[in-house]
């Protein structure tokens, strides 16, 4: 399987505006931001999507959420608020088959999403 764009970012083969990195997670700015703050958090280990992460790798979910909290603090979004989103599969609007968490903030976000 060819690498996804996100694997290429993890492997430093493609540039990204990286804000946070730890052993398990990389966070960088979305190239087409949908809000003043739009960060993507991805696991360094490849998983196509939320639905396909096997139980033995479920710790990836806590790593992503914990990293999102750190990035939200780093960007001073705790008081104003933010939204975390995972688009899964065709109906979810997923376009890159590498699990990722969107962190959106910096403006009021409408609900429900379109
Ligand atoms: P999704 O639609 O949930 O699969 O989200 C994929 C996201 O990746 C979209 O918001 C894109 O704008 C973003 N994206 C695609 N390529 C890049 C890239 N090279 N650097 C940063 N963000 C990207």
Q: Report pTM.
A: 0.98
Count of CA atoms in the C-beta half-sphere (13 A) of 39: 30
Say how many Å lie between the CA of residue 42 and the centre of ligand 1.
11
List alpha helices for the chain, DSSP H. Answer: 5-10, 59-74, 89-92
Answer yes or no: is 111 within a domain: no
Q: What is the residue range of 87's domain?
A: 5-105
| Residue 112 within a domain | no
40: in domain:
yes
Determine whether the shortest distance from the Cβ of 7 to ligand 1 is under 6 A: no
Distance 32 CA to ligand 1 centre (A): 7
Q: How far apart are CA 98 and CA 49, in angstroms?
A: 6
Any ligand 1 atom below 6 A from CB of 37? no
Kindly report the CATH number assigned to the domain that includes residue 54.
3.30.428.10
d(CA 97, CA 111): 25
Average pLDDT across each block of 10 residues of the chain; the chain has 114 residues. List them in order.
96 98 98 98 98 98 98 98 98 98 98 91
Number of domains in the chain: 1
How far is it, in rounded angstroms, from Cα 45 to Cα 88? 17
């Amino acid at each position: 399987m060819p690498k996804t764009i996100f694997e290429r970012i993890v492997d430093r083969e493609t540039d990204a505006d990286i804000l946070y990195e730890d052993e398990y997670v990389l966070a960088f700015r979305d190239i087409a931001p949908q809000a003043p703050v739009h960060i993507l958090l991805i696991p360094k280990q490849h998983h196509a999507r939320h639905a396909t992460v096997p139980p033995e790798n479920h710790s990836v979910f806590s790593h992503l959420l914990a990293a999102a909290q750190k990035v939200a603090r780093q960007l001073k979004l705790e008081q104003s608020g933010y939204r975390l989103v995972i688009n899964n599969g065709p109906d979810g609007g997923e376009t890159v088959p590498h699990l990722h968490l969107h962190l959106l903030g910096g403006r009021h976000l409408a609900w429900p999403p379109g």
